[in-house]
């Protein structure tokens, strides 16, 4: 199975800060990497697919980069509504696996 | 508007069974791979199972293989998860998630329901 490791596991930042979350795969997954935002009691939301493609309707302050084993999600200017837990997910092969999550507090 | 609504969760004793349903609206289910993902209390997201458009390709996490059965009814725009021999560690919120169009296995999840809680406890 492909293991996905996210860091940090949590962070606290201020409105307007630039925030970076990293995700590392245990083997190369090309660009089969997706990012989600999850808030308590709500449906998870797809932000970025194929490592760097912005999902329709997602603000442009969210960007994804990377390929192979190392990936990054960047929020260029953190907004109050960006709190929640962020997960990476590899879609290279089954079992599809998620990172452990990064909890973002404002 | 794309919507998915899960139902069928509840409290069940270890060894018991439950059948989850996911009713989709705002889109036609048939061209999409469909999936179940769960989140145990205080834990992260865990993929459970996927089923391709015509049910030709079905995949399960090792943790549920042999106990859970995924199925779909494209005519009813619905997805199902039959869960047998339930264990305490199956306690989680179960989410229905739409995958990519025409995918057979490799997929992201672009729309999710709000989940249904399954609690396995004596």
CA neighbor of B97 nearest in space, from B40, B41, B51: B51
Given this model, what pLDDT does residue B105 score?
82
Contact B25, B3 (CB under 8 A): yes
Q: CA-based angle B65:B69:B70, to the nearest 5?
A: 115
Q: Which long-range contacts (CB under 8 A, 24 or more apart) does B55-61 make?
A: B56/B104, B57/B33, B57/B104, B57/B105, B59/A94, B59/A95, B59/B105, B61/A95
Cα(A51)–Cα(B26) distance, integer angstroms: 27
Q: Give yes or no for residue A11 having a pLDDT over 90.
A: yes
Max CA separation in chain B (angstroms): 41
What is the average pLDDT across A89-101?
96
User: Which residue spans within B1-122 are E strands per DSSP?
Assistant: 3-7, 10-12, 18-25, 32-39, 45-51, 58-60, 68-73, 78-83, 92-101, 111-112, 116-120
Task: Name which of A43, A49, A64, A103 to mutate to probe chain B: the one with the most chain B Cβ atoms within 10 A of its Cβ.
Answer: A43
Intervals of chain B under pLDDT 50: none
Which residues in chain B (42-71) have CB-CB distances under 8 A to chain A?
44-47, 50, 59, 61-62
Backbone angles phi, psi at B111, to 5 degrees: -140, 140
The minimal CB distance from A95 to the residues B62, B109, B113 is found for: B62
Q: Which residues of B touch A55 (CB under 8 A)?
A: 110
Structure letter (DSSP) for residue B53: T
> With contact defined as beta carbons under 8 Å apart, do A53 and A60 qualify?
no
Interval A15-23 mean pLDDT: 97
CB-based contact, B3 to chain A, within 8 Å: no
- Nearest chain B residue to A90 by CA distance is B108
- Please state the φ and ψ torsions of residue B75, each to the nearest 5 degrees: -65, -30
pLDDT at site B106: 87
Q: Which of A43, A55, A94 sits opposite B114 (nearest CB)?
A: A43
pLDDT(A24) > 90: yes
Judge whether B35 and B96 are in contact, CB under 8 Å.
yes
Which of A50, A55, A87 shows the shortest C-beta gap to B45?
A87
Contact, A70 vs A54, CB < 8 A? no
In this complex, is the C-beta atom of A2 within 8 Å of any C-beta atom belonging to chain B? no
Residues of chain A above pLDDT 90, percent: 98
Q: Does the pLDDT value for residue A72 go beyond 90? A: yes
């Amino acid at each position: 199975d492909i293991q996905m490791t996210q860091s940090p596991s949590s962070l606290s930042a201020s409105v307007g800060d630039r925030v970076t979350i990293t995700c590392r795969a245990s083997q190369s997954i090309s660009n089969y990497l997706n990012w989600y935002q999850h808030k308590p009691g709500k449906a998870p939301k797809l932000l970025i697919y194929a490592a760097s493609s912005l999902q329709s309707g997602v603000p442009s302050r969210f960007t994804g980069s990377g390929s192979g084993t190392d990936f990054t999600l960047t929020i260029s200017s953190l907004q109050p509504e960006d709190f929640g837990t962020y997960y990476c997910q590899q879609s290279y092969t089954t079992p599809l696996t998620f990172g452990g999550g990064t909890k973002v507090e404002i | 508007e794309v919507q998915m609504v899960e139902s069928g969760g509840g409290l069940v004793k270890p060894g018991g069974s439950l059948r989850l349903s996911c009713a989709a609206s705002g889109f036609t289910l048939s061209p999409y791979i469909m999936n179940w993902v769960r989140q145990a209390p205080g834990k992260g997201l865990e993929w459970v199972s996927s089923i391709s458009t015509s049910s030709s390709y079905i995949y399960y996490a090792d943790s549920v293989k042999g106990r859970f059965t995924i199925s779909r009814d494209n005519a009813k725009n619905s997805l199902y998860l039959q869960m047998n021999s339930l264990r305490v560690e199956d306690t989680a919120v179960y989410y229905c998630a739409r995958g990519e169009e025409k995918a057979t296995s490799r997929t992201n999840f672009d729309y999710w329901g709000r989940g249904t809680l399954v609690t396995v406890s004596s």
